[in-house]
Amino acid sequence: MKKYISIIQAYFQLSLRFRTESILWMIMDLIPMVFMLIVWRAIFINNDSVSGVNLSQVINFYILSSIISSWTAVHFENTRSIQIKNGGLDTFLTKPHHFLLDIVLKDLAKLLFYKPISLLILMIGYVAWQGPMILNNLSFFTSTSFFSLIGLMLVAYTINFLIGYLITFMTFWFEGAQGLEHFKWMSVALFSGSIMPLALFPKWMQSIIWLLPFKYLFAVPIMVALGQYRLEPSDVIYLSATLFTLLFFVRIVWRKGIMKYSAVGS
């Protein structure tokens, strides 16, 4: 346990060393939300509501989407793919410290620095937007919906992590594997319900989104937070099946990849 804490501390210190970079990332993470709010404000200028959704609900949606994204998104695919390509995996294969665990520990270090500050900025924005109305919503933090939201965010984080692993492992076979994270971003953006409230998608797209597991990354957590959806036993079964399937493929692909891996040594 002590060695894991030391590793997390080391990565945490690295984050502090490059704090300007971290702050810039936090600012840039807000830009898509600002862009979308500008767009929706233009759409709602002549409409009180669109498909039963009003501007206030849209703003709530994007703030929640940003909060969920800041805590559940992972971005290690590119750097770790390059690390494998450049033979950086060697050091992990000879040490009693697993490569996959190193990725987890580095991300946990971010939880100590980057993510709380990012969340604080978003929460300040949310409180400023809601104003006195926030006092009416305080009971949310003791409700079943709040704990369901926390649970769903943990699951979303795990799903993102497992998909990130699979993309990273493609480096064992493909030269441009780090580009696969672009496919992930596109798929998540289109099919997770993160780019706009689900009710505003065309019906055919809503059906597709509802079939795929990406909905648990954004659409379902947001709807749970807004009190528009309650988790069913079928959701738990679906999520469990998704997680087990991803875990299964991660194990298989890692084993096959490691057998294929070769590096130049001195």
Partner 1 sequence: MILSLKKYWQLFSKFRSLQLMEMTEYRGNFYFWSIVSTLWTGFNFFFFALLLNINNQLGGWSYWQVYLLIGVFTIIDASFWGIMNQNMWNYTQDVYNGQLSQLLVKPVNIQFVLMTRRGNYTQVSRFLIGLYVIWLSIHKLNLDLSIWQVLLASLVVFTSIITLYSVWFLLATTSFWTERINNINELLPSTSQLMRLPSAAVMGLSSIVITLVLPFTLFATVPSQILLGEVDYTLVTTLGMMSLLLILSSILFFNYSIKKYTSVSG
Give me the residues that bind partner 1 (CB under 8 A), please.
Answer: 18, 20-21, 24-25, 28, 31-32, 34-35, 38-39, 41-43, 45, 47, 50-51, 175-176, 179, 182-183, 186, 189-190, 195-196, 200-202, 205
Q: Least distance from C-beta 114 to partner 1, angstroms? A: 12
Q: Which residues does 78 contact at the CB level (< 8 Å), separation at least 6?
A: 178, 181
* Residue 84 or 224 having the CB closest to partner 1: 84
Cβ contacts of residue 54 below 8 Å, gap of 6+? 44, 48
What does the alpha-carbon distance between residue 227 and residue 216 come to, in Å, rounded to a whole number? 15
CA 245, CA 158: separation in Å to the nearest integer?
Answer: 12
DSSP code, position 48: S
Tell me the C-alpha distance between 130 and 137, whole Å: 10
Residue 208 Cβ vs partner 1, minimum distance, rounded to whole Å: 13
DSSP state of 96: S
Exposed, middle or buried: residue 55 (CB in 10 Å: 0-12, 13-18, 19+)?
middle
For partner 1, the closer of residues 128 and 138 by Cβ is: 128
| CA neighbor of 153 nearest in space, from 66, 36, 33, 78 | 66
Measured from the CB of residue 260, what is the shortest distance to partner 1 in angstroms?
17
Residue closer to partner 1 by CB (options 166, 190) is: 190
- Which residues face 53 on adjacent strands? 50
CB nearer to partner 1: give 38 or 138: 38
Task: State both tokens at 124.
Answer: 């300040």
166/196 with CB nearer partner 1: 196
Nearest residue (CB) to partner 1, 205 versus 243: 205
Q: 78 vs 130, which CB is nearer to partner 1?
A: 78
Nearest distance from residue 28's CB to partner 1, in Å? 5
Taking the complex as a whole, the smallest distance from the CB of residue 48 to partner 1 amounts, in Å, to 12
Least distance in angstroms from the C-beta of 209 to partner 1: 12
Residue 191 CB, nearest approach to partner 1 (Å): 12
- Rounded to whole angstroms, the Cα distance separating 6 from 22 reads 21
Q: How many CA atoms lie within 13 A of 256 on its CB side?
A: 12
